[in-house]
Amino acid sequence: MKAVAVMSKGSDPVYVDHLEIPHSSNPEEVLIHVKAVSIKNLDRAIASGKHYSAQTAVFSPQIIGTDGVGLLDDQTRVYGFGVRGMLAERALVKKSSLVVIPEGLSDATAAALPNALMGSVIALMERGQFKAGQHLLINGATGITGKVAIQMAKHYGASRVTVTGRNAAVLEQLRDLGADELLSLNQSEAALIDQIKSIDSLNPIDVVVDYLWGDSAKSILQALKGQGQYTHRTKFVNVGAMSGDVMELSSAVLRGTDIELVGSGLGSWNAREVARFFDSLLPEAFELAAQGRLKIDTTVYPMSAVQQVWQRSIDLKSRLVFSV
């Protein structure tokens, strides 16, 4: 079968046409006819061998892609998580991850949305316990996942959505997605802290979803720190570390603030949270997207073009999707 695979350790993936169709005797897996696969940072890290899951494994040719869209034998169109790679004509997927794709939703959008939703709705609804009427701050909202988080927060009934970002042009566009307050990360630390304090004093921040960590996260936590009086309860949910993996945190922030620091990622989600994502959160978001009420930018190429676009697609401001 035709596929995109890493054929030698450390090399870029290539288009091949001679791989065997996978087979499984596991009743929890099903073979699908793949239609579209999105490529995320996770997929790139695994393909390059830099991801921790690939560093200790014995190398063998590996089909790339962790999840995607395809057809069951009865022509039902589904999204699912791959067992041993997805970007191929046929792929095994976990039955527990299958979600039926509604009419009106393109293969490309259905393939691109789930990863961004994992990074937003699980952080919001599970790790952050977000409720309608609450005030959300998204740190680093100009990326693909941040944009999805804004839209989903408004859908869930956020009273206000405050966002941060460095790209002034993209930051301004976030108003169209539902952002109420825009904070530039290009200003001084003192100015950013003062701005967050002012916003929080008028409309206390209930949940922070953080995609950056580093200096901006430090500024947010410093701005929320109390002055010896009881503070509003805030959940700070870290999802990523685009600004650096290490942050200096004063213990006074924890002692002087009613704040809860939690993470949201593969190692922190329990079985119930994962099940809720596939059973209700993802299907609900798919319906929103089919109705045109949830948007994500995609750039689509045929999988045969992988060698031409793999390196230059790194700088895409949209989700890369390969059609099969």
Going by pLDDT thresholds of 50, 70 and 90, the confidence category of residue 45 is confident
Query: Rounded CA gap, 89 and 17, in Å?
Result: 10
**What is the CATH code for 3-115+295-323?**
3.90.180.10
Per cent of the chain over pLDDT 90 is 78
Same fold, 3-115+295-323 and 120-263: yes
Q: How high is the pLDDT of residue 316?
A: 66
Region 47-61 average pLDDT: 64
Query: Rounded CA gap, 49 and 125, in Å?
Result: 32
Residue spans per domain, the chain: 3-115+295-323, 120-263
**What is the CATH code for 120-263?**
3.90.180.10
pLDDT of 240-275, one tens digit each?
A: 988 888 998 889 888 888 999 999 998 899 999 999
Q: What is the pTM of this model?
A: 0.92
* pLDDT at 44 > cutoff 90: no
Total count of residues recorded for the chain: 324
What mean pLDDT value characterizes the chain? 92
The rounded radius of gyration (Å) of the Cα atoms in the chain is 21
Query: Rounded CA gap, 53 and 38, in Å?
Result: 19
